[in-house]
Amino acid sequence: MNISMTRIQAILMKDYKEFSRNYAVSSMVLLPIILAFLYNQSGASSINAYLLPINMTFSMVTAYIQCCLIAEEKEKNTLRSLMLSPASLGDILIGKSLFVLIVTMIVVAMSIFIVGYKPSNLLILAISLVLSTVFYIALGTICGLFSKSIMEGSIIVLPVIIIFSFGPIALNFASTYPILKIAEWLPSSQLLLLAEALEGKYSMSDVFIPMITIVVWSLLSWFLAAFIYKKRMVD
């Protein structure tokens, strides 16, 4: 697979222009920041309070914006042209993901700073945040490929926002409803478990199990996204 930085940069700049023109999409970056500010003002200092704005960033910013950018391409019938262009699959997937990755990292960093979260091991947490971003970009890509317009994409991505943002909250009810224990294996819950482990004495398994789980989710999601993308090329 040939990767062209020129084509990736062109796709990146195109996404930036579309994002800056669509205020309904770009305004979503404010929601996690506002939530982080409210938590800071309320004096919340638990790991759950710190991680909720971060997990909301992944679903309401990363997945949502990625979905809407791809849905907008389909709505304007430009995605087909991009598929038939000399750009390779890698060029398109990387180019369509890079802008959202940058936006996500900025919003996550601002949320962490505003809420006052000071992780004990910033390096391990940063790696897990990047891995989570990669996963949510894949989810947004899948949702976008199933959408025909931005409006439709906004609806399709809602289950992602609900399930993955509030996965850790579902764990609080797992003792009453045992079926909710499955939420422990969601990437958002694994990120919370990792953050909690880093605050105390942790073993290698406390770090590797959550990170491997997130990596597996990411790989499966990107394989599915690539498969759907190739199917759309021949439809």
46-94 pLDDT, tens per residue?
788 888 889 889 988 999 999 988 888 888 877 777 777 777 777 778 8
The CA distance from 73 to 96, in Å, is 11
Q: Could you tell me which of 156, 187, 188 has the C-alpha nearest to residue 169?
A: 188
The CA distance from 136 to 234, in Å, is 26
3-class SS at 163? helix
CB 47 within 8 A of CB 134: no
CB neighbourhood size of 74 (10 A):
20
The model's pLDDT over 118-162, given as tens digits with 9 standing for 90+, comes to 888 889 999 999 999 999 999 999 998 888 888 888 899 888 888
Predicted confidence at residue 62, as pLDDT, reads 93
Predicted confidence at residue 52, as pLDDT, reads 85
How many helices and strands (H and E) does the chain possess? 13, 0
The CA distance from 201 to 108, in Å, is 25
Calculate the alpha carbon distances from 6 to 89, 148, 184 in Å. 14, 28, 41
CA-CA-CA-CA torsion sign (34, 40, 44, 45): positive
Does the pLDDT value for residue 100 go beyond 70?
yes
Overall average pLDDT of the 37-41 stretch:
84
The model's pLDDT over 186-213, given as tens digits with 9 standing for 90+, comes to 998 899 889 888 888 878 888 899 999 9
3-class SS at 49? helix
Q: Could you tell me which of 119, 114, 120 has the C-alpha nearest to residue 42?
A: 114
Q: Which residue has the tokens 């930036």?
A: 16
Task: End-to-end CA distance of the chain: give it in Å, rounded.
Answer: 22
Does the pLDDT value for residue 20 go beyond 80?
yes
CA-CA-CA-CA torsion sign (147, 227, 161, 37): negative
